[in-house]
Chain A
Amino acid sequence: MKTSNSFSRRRFLRYGGSTASLAMLAQLTALQRTVSAAPAGGYRALVCVYLYGGNDAFNLIVPTSNAQYTTYATSRQGLAVPLAQLLPITPATSTGVNYGLHPSVPELQTLFGDQKLAIVANLGSLVAPLTKTEYESGAVERPPQLFSHSDQGDQWMIGGAVSQIQKIGWCGKVGENLASLNPGSVMSMNISLDGSNTMQMGATKAPYNLGANGPTELSGFWGSQGALRKQAFDALRNQAQTNKLSQGFADVMNESIAIEATISAALASGPTIMTPFPSSWLGEQLSMVARMISVQSAVGQTRQIFFVGKGGFDTHGNQNAEQPALYADISQCLGAFQAAMEELGSDADVTLFTASEFGRTLSSNAQGTDHGWGAHHLVLGGAVGGGDLYGTMPDLALDGPDDIGGGRMIPTTSVEQYAATLATWFGVAPGDLATLFPHIGNFASPTLGFV
Chain B
Amino acid sequence: MTRGAGIGRVSPRFGVFVVALATLGACGGGGSGGASGGPSYVQGSDVPATDADAACFLTQSTFGPTHDDIDLLRFIGYAAWFDDQRAKSVSKERPYVNALDAAGKSLSQNHRMQIWWDNALTGDDQLRQRVAWALSQIFVISDQHSSLSGDVKGLCEYYDILARDAFGNYRKLLEDVTLSPQMGMYLNMLRNEKADPAYNIRPDENYAREILQLFSIGLVQLAVDGTPLLDGLGATIPTYDQSVVEGFAATFTGWTFADAKNWWDWEGSTKPMVNWPDYHETAAKVILNSVVVPAGQTGEQDLALALDTIFAHPNVGPFFSKLLIQRLVTSNPTPAYVGRVASVFDDDGTGERGDLFEVVKAILMDDEARNGHLTMPATFGKVKEPIVRQTQLWRALDAKAKSGKYKVYWPDYYFGQAPLRSPTVFNFYSSTFSPPGDLADNGLAAPELQIATHSLIALGTNEFYDLVFWGNSDNTNDDADTVEIDLKPLKPLAVDPTALVDELGLLLMAGDMSSAMHQVLVDHVAATPITDGGTQRVLEAVYLIVTSPEGAVQK
A: residues with CB less than 8 A from B are 52-53, 74-78, 144-151, 163, 165-168, 172, 192, 195-196, 201-206, 208-211, 215-220, 225, 228-229, 231-233, 235-237, 239, 241-253, 255-257, 259-260, 311, 314, 316-318, 322, 362-368, 370-371, 398, 405-407
Instruction: Contacts A236-B517, A237-B549, A252-B457 given; indicate if A243 touches B201 (C-beta within 8 A).
Output: no
Give the total number of A-B pairs whose CB atoms are below 8 A apart: 239
Cβ of B147 within 8 Å of any chain A Cβ, yes or no, is yes
Quote the shortest CB–CB distance from B429 to chain A (angstroms). 8
List, in ascending order, chain A residues with CB within 8 A of B146's CB.
Answer: 318, 322
Assuming A241-B550, A249-B452, what are 5 further A-B pairs, CB within 8 angstroms?
A211-B459, A218-B465, A242-B378, A247-B438, A316-B188
B383-413 residues with Cβ-Cβ distance < 8 A to A are: 383
Whether B435 contacts A256 by the Cβ 8 Å rule is no
Instruction: Contacts A248-B446, A363-B201, A367-B191 given; indicate if A219 touches B465 (C-beta within 8 A).
Output: yes
Whether B209 contacts A148 by the Cβ 8 Å rule is yes
17 contacts between A and B (CB under 8 A): A150-B213, A196-B451, A202-B436, A210-B454, A211-B459, A216-B459, A218-B465, A219-B465, A228-B528, A232-B540, A233-B547, A236-B544, A239-B520, A252-B435, A252-B454, A364-B200, A367-B204
Whether A195 contacts B462 by the Cβ 8 Å rule is no
Whether A239 contacts B202 by the Cβ 8 Å rule is no
Instruction: Contacts A219-B465, A228-B527 given; indicate if A247 touches B549 (C-beta within 8 A).
Output: yes
Whether A249 contacts B147 by the Cβ 8 Å rule is no
Selected from A216, A317, A398, the residue in CB contact (under 8 A) with B462 is A216
Selected from A192, A211, A239, the residue in CB contact (under 8 A) with B517 is A239
Closest residue of chain A to B444, judged by CB? A244
Cβ of B442 within 8 Å of any chain A Cβ, yes or no, is yes
Whether A255 contacts B446 by the Cβ 8 Å rule is no
Closest residue of chain A to B458, judged by CB? A216
Whether A253 contacts B549 by the Cβ 8 Å rule is yes
Selected from B144, B196, B236, B524, the residue in CB contact (under 8 A) with A366 is B196
Quote the shortest CB–CB distance from B145 to chain A (angstroms). 9
List, in ascending order, chain A residues with CB within 8 A of B379's CB.
Answer: 243-245
Selected from A167, A225, A245, the residue in CB contact (under 8 A) with B439 is A245
List, in ascending order, chain A residues with CB within 8 A of B550's CB.
Answer: 236, 241, 243, 246
Whether B453 contacts A252 by the Cβ 8 Å rule is yes
Complex: A139 Cα to B434 Cα, angstroms:
35
List, in ascending order, chain B residues with CB within 8 A of A75's CB.
Answer: 200
Cβ of B450 within 8 Å of any chain A Cβ, yes or no, is yes
Interface of A is mostly: loop
Cβ of B339 within 8 Å of any chain A Cβ, yes or no, is no
Whether B188 contacts A365 by the Cβ 8 Å rule is yes
Whether A242 contacts B209 by the Cβ 8 Å rule is no
Cβ of B136 within 8 Å of any chain A Cβ, yes or no, is no
Instruction: Contacts A203-B436, A229-B543, A242-B378 given; indicate if A256 touches B458 (C-beta within 8 A).
Output: yes
Whether B516 contacts A239 by the Cβ 8 Å rule is yes
Complex: A245 Cα to B446 Cα, angstroms:
7
Selected from A219, A243, A251, A256, the residue in CB contact (under 8 A) with B437 is A251
List, in ascending order, chain B residues with CB within 8 A of A76's CB.
Answer: 200
Instruction: Contacts A245-B439, A364-B199, A366-B201 given; indicate if A237 touches B453 (C-beta within 8 A).
Output: no
Whether A52 contacts B424 by the Cβ 8 Å rule is yes
List, in ascending order, chain B residues with CB within 8 A of A249's CB.
Answer: 383, 449, 452, 457, 549, 552-553
Instruction: Contacts A146-B242, A250-B549 given; indicate if A165 touches B206 (C-beta within 8 A).
Output: no
Complex: A211 Cα to B459 Cα, angstroms:
10
Instruction: Contacts A218-B458, A228-B524 given; indicate if A244 touches B378 (C-beta within 8 A).
Output: yes
List, in ascending order, chain B residues with CB within 8 A of A195's CB.
Answer: 416, 450-451, 453, 455-456
Cβ of B461 within 8 Å of any chain A Cβ, yes or no, is yes
Whether A211 contacts B424 by the Cβ 8 Å rule is no
Complex: A252 Cα to B457 Cα, angstroms:
8
Cβ of B159 within 8 Å of any chain A Cβ, yes or no, is no
Complex: A149 Cα to B331 Cα, angstroms:
23
Complex: A147 Cα to B200 Cα, angstroms:
19
Whether A150 contacts B426 by the Cβ 8 Å rule is yes
Whether B200 contacts A398 by the Cβ 8 Å rule is yes
List, in ascending order, chain B residues with CB within 8 A of A316's CB.
Answer: 187-188, 204-206
List, in ascending order, chain A residues with CB within 8 A of B318's CB.
Answer: none
Closest residue of chain B to A187, judged by CB? B454
Cβ of B423 within 8 Å of any chain A Cβ, yes or no, is yes
Instruction: Contacts A166-B440, A232-B544, A243-B381 given; indicate if A215 touches B454 (C-beta within 8 A).
Output: yes
Cβ of B2 within 8 Å of any chain A Cβ, yes or no, is no
Complex: A204 Cα to B448 Cα, angstroms:
19
Complex: A78 Cα to B199 Cα, angstroms:
8
Whether A317 contacts B188 by the Cβ 8 Å rule is yes
Instruction: Contacts A52-B424, A225-B536 given; indicate if A241 touches B549 (C-beta within 8 A).
Output: yes
Whether B435 contacts A253 by the Cβ 8 Å rule is no
Whether B437 contacts A204 by the Cβ 8 Å rule is yes
Complex: A406 Cα to B249 Cα, angstroms:
13
Whether A233 contacts B200 by the Cβ 8 Å rule is no
Whether A215 contacts B458 by the Cβ 8 Å rule is yes
Quote the shortest CB–CB distance from A44 to chain B (angstroms). 23
Quote the shortest CB–CB distance from B480 to chain A (angstroms). 24
What 9 pairs across the A-B complex have the smallest Cβ distances?
A: A209-B453, A365-B204, A216-B458, A250-B549, A232-B524, A256-B454, A209-B454, A363-B200, A316-B188
Complex: A100 Cα to B267 Cα, angstroms:
38
Whether A245 contacts B382 by the Cβ 8 Å rule is yes
Closest residue of chain A to B519, judged by CB? A235
Closest residue of chain A to B544, judged by CB? A232
List, in ascending order, chain A residues with CB within 8 A of B465's CB.
Answer: 218-220
Complex: A255 Cα to B521 Cα, angstroms:
23
Complex: A237 Cα to B550 Cα, angstroms:
9
Whether A311 contacts B424 by the Cβ 8 Å rule is yes
Quote the shortest CB–CB distance from B315 to chain A (angstroms). 15
List, in ascending order, chain A residues with CB within 8 A of B442's CB.
Answer: 244
List, in ascending order, chain B residues with CB within 8 A of A246's CB.
Answer: 549-550, 552-553
Complex: A76 Cα to B201 Cα, angstroms:
9
Selected from B206, B430, B444, B553, the residue in CB contact (under 8 A) with A370 is B206
Instruction: Contacts A147-B245, A196-B451, A365-B192 given; indicate if A407 touches B462 (C-beta within 8 A).
Output: no
Quote the shortest CB–CB distance from B409 to chain A (angstroms). 18
List, in ascending order, chain B residues with CB within 8 A of A151's CB.
Answer: 219
List, in ascending order, chain A residues with CB within 8 A of B527's CB.
Answer: 228
Whether B381 contacts A245 by the Cβ 8 Å rule is yes
Complex: A52 Cα to B379 Cα, angstroms:
33
List, in ascending order, chain B residues with CB within 8 A of A203's CB.
Answer: 436
Quote the shortest CB–CB distance from A244 to chain B (angstroms). 6
Whether B436 contacts A206 by the Cβ 8 Å rule is yes
Closest residue of chain B to A251, judged by CB? B437
List, in ascending order, chain A residues with CB within 8 A of B193's CB.
Answer: 366
Whether B424 contacts A253 by the Cβ 8 Å rule is no
Cβ of B247 within 8 Å of any chain A Cβ, yes or no, is no
Complex: A172 Cα to B203 Cα, angstroms:
39
Q: Which of B187, B416, B439 has the most CB of A within 10 A?
A: B439
Cβ of B349 within 8 Å of any chain A Cβ, yes or no, is no
Selected from B202, B424, B430, B437, the residue in CB contact (under 8 A) with A406 is B202
